[in-house]
Amino acid sequence: MNLSRRDLLKASGIGAAALALGGTTASAADTTAASEELMSAPTGKRVLIIGGGWGGLTAARYIKKEAPETEVVVLEKRDMFVSCPLSNEWLAGEIPMDFLTRDYFTAAKEFGYKMLQTTVTGIDRKTRIVTTTTGSIGYDYLVLSPGIAYDYSKWFGKDALAAERCRQECPPALIHGSEHVALKKMLEDFEGGNFIISVPDGAYRCPPAPYERAAMMAHYMKKNGIKGKIIILDPKAKPAPKGPGFLAAYKELYPDIVDYRPNSLVKTVDLDKKEVVVTVTLADERTEEQRIPYAAANLMPVNKASDIIAMAGVSGGKAGWGVMTSPTFQTKADERVFVIGDAVGGYPYPKSGAIANGQGHIVASQIASIIQGRPTLKEVTLPQNICYSMVNGEEAISIGVTFSLMDDKDLNGNDIKVIKPKMTENNTRSTEMGKTTHEWYKGMMRDIFGS
């Protein structure tokens, strides 16, 4: 480590002992010095991955596989992996929590990457040092897969307390953890009245998730004889994706329970009165304001990128999604920094675990090629999406999306390549599809965790 880097660490209050793992380099010459001085300094390059979820853990496994000489370190704030996919089935009591959880240690040991439980608080791309709540660590390449965050400002302005109250009282459950557990308790304690589910406005994590959740909660209510309504407030004109399949399931399986309301945008929430204030766009384009009372609610606000993306200075737009050079997921701002998963912006990729996993593979190949001095992938395979939604305890519907690079023209008539999606929906629910849902999930878990 050179002096300037040591000085930097001193200035930030982090001594050598607190520095659990040394980064390699801010220049080629630094690499040797860094290895000499730090306890666990890598002999080769180090790839740091922020976020041990669907994207980050895939990248970790496959970078290590393709470039075993590389030190791969995952920084993750949580102690345990909990899957969001299939969590709606768990919510309805159809599968146990064990199905959704994995420990972080077994896969790290088996595949040879390091897992550090810590929260990232700063990223300095100039010095290539990431600061966390437990110390700092350098990198040669940085992969960001930190997922989403909530933006409550449209409902509560700058009132952070109201936003937090809403998150706790009407848990959105788009981020794994307490919100899911709280929502399940609310469903189990629900004795009737309105249970409101609001679909987020704009791009959000797992587009079919709110519709699947409504179906699975209705399934639970039907099974347990709970009299009450699930009101879905959707800013869109119809559910998407898999709209026909969801609407058929609501009508045929839960006619007395699910009340789907299109063109209904949540304006704010009156937490004291337990009322959701909604702007409804009518058929003649006029809008009207409605106040809908709730006994319980699952309110999903606007999604934005995790603040890790802004911390790294690689974000763009209001929602702060990462800005990349597609199709390699290298950021436009820094060729050593890659963004994958739900934090990706600007491309027609849905925010899904399947896509995050596919992007993890692509970035792993890309980084391994760079490290090993092989030609980098100019035209990589694009990630593909397959997504199943359960509508009761047995049956599911599905959507597959393939992406391809197509020729197009920009506004000035110049030739460009754009990524275009092609969707294939299967809206006929079936038990076969229900079984495939579980097979898909187990396959994903094997790919990420080995079992």
Looking from the CA of 22 toward its CB, the CA atoms found within 13 Å total 25
Binding track over 383-422 against ligand FAD, x by CB under 6 A: ----xx----------------------------------
Is residue 178 a contact residue for ligand FAD (CB under 6 A)?
no
- Told to check if 51 binds ligand FAD by CB under 6 A, we report yes
354 contacts ligand FAD (rule: CB under 6 A): yes
Q: Is 52 in the site for ligand FAD (CB under 6 A)?
A: yes
Nearer to ligand FAD, 274 or 361 (CB): 361
Q: Cβ of residue 355: shortest distance to ligand FAD, in angstroms?
A: 7
Query: Does 428 sit near ligand FAD (CB under 6 A)?
Result: no
Tokens of 22: 């040394």
Find the distance separating the first CA and the last CA of the chain, reported in whole Å. Answer: 39
Q: Which residues contact 275 (CB under 8 A, 6 or more apart)?
A: 269, 291, 292, 293, 294
If the CB atoms of residues 19 and 34 are measured against ligand FAD, the closer one turns out to be 19
Q: Is 358 in the site for ligand FAD (CB under 6 A)?
A: no
The region of 71-79, 93-101, 107-115, 217-225 touching ligand FAD under the rule CB under 6 A is 71-79
Contact call for residue 232 and ligand FAD (CB under 6 A): no
Report CA torsion sign: 144, 74, 97, 356.
Answer: positive
Nearer CB in complex with ligand FAD: 147/274 = 147
What is the distance between the alpha carbons of residues 149 and 79, in angstroms, rounded to a whole number? 19
Among 107, 116, 308, 371, binds ligand FAD (CB under 6 A): 308
Instruction: List the one residue from 23, 42, 53, 241 that touches ligand FAD (CB under 6 A).
Output: 53
Among positions 24, 25, 131, 145, the unique one binding ligand FAD when judged by CB under 6 A: 145
Q: Which stretch binds ligand FAD (CB under 6 A): 36-44, 250-258, 277-285, 339-347?
A: 339-347
Residue 30 has which token pair? 């630094």
**Near ligand FAD by CB under 6 A: residue from 31, 70, 131, 306:** 306
- From the CB of residue 334, how many other CB atoms can be counted at a distance below 10 Å? 16
Stretch that binds ligand FAD, among 92-100, 139-147, 235-243, 324-332 (CB under 6 A): 139-147
How far apart (Å, rounded) are the C-alpha atoms in residues 302 and 205?
Answer: 10
Minimum distance of ligand FAD from residue 295's CB (angstroms): 21
Q: Quick check: 131 binds ligand FAD (CB under 6 A)?
A: no
CB atoms within 10 A of CB 23: 28
Stretch near ligand FAD under the rule CB under 6 A, chosen from 74-82, 255-263, 314-322, 325-333: 74-82
Stretch (H or E) spanning 404: strand 396-409
Which part of the chain contacts ligand FAD (CB under 6 A), choosing from 23-31, 85-93, 238-246, 313-321?
85-93
Alpha-carbon span 30 to 28, nearest angstrom: 5
Say what angle helices 209-223 and 243-253 make with each other, to 10 degrees: 10
Asked if 88 interacts with ligand FAD (CB under 6 A), we say yes
**Mask 191-220, x = binds ligand FAD (CB under 6 A)?**
--------------xx--x-----------
Q: Please name the residues in contact with 50: beta carbons below 8 A apart, sequence gap of 6 or more.
A: 56, 75, 120, 123, 130, 142, 143, 144, 145, 146, 308
Residues between 257 and 286 with contacts to ligand FAD, criterion CB under 6 A: none
Specify the stretch interacting with ligand FAD by CB under 6 A; choose among 45-53, 287-295, 372-380, 415-423: 45-53
The enclosing H or E element of 36 equals: helix 30-37
Site for ligand FAD contains 322 (CB under 6 A): no
The count of residues interacting with ligand FAD (CB under 6 A) is 36
Residues 6+ away with beta carbon under 8 Å from 284: none
Give the chain's largest Cα–Cα span.
72
Among 67, 100, 120, 314, binds ligand FAD (CB under 6 A): 120
The single residue among 228, 353, 383, 434 that binds ligand FAD, judged by CB under 6 A, is 353
Give me the residues paired with residue 116 across strands.
75
Distances (CA, A) of 3 to 17, 132, 137, 179, 342: 16, 21, 16, 45, 38
Interaction between residue 84 and ligand FAD (CB under 6 A): yes
Strands 71-76 and 114-117, how do they pair?
Answer: parallel
Q: Which of 386, 377, 388, 401 is nearest to 429 (CA)?
A: 388
Q: What is the Cα–Cα distance from 310 to 339, expressed in whole angstroms?
A: 12
How near is the Cβ of 437 to ligand FAD at its closest, in Å?
8
Residues engaged in binding ligand FAD (CB under 6 A): 50-56, 75-78, 84-85, 87-88, 119-120, 145-147, 174, 205-206, 209, 306, 308, 341-343, 351-354, 356, 387-388
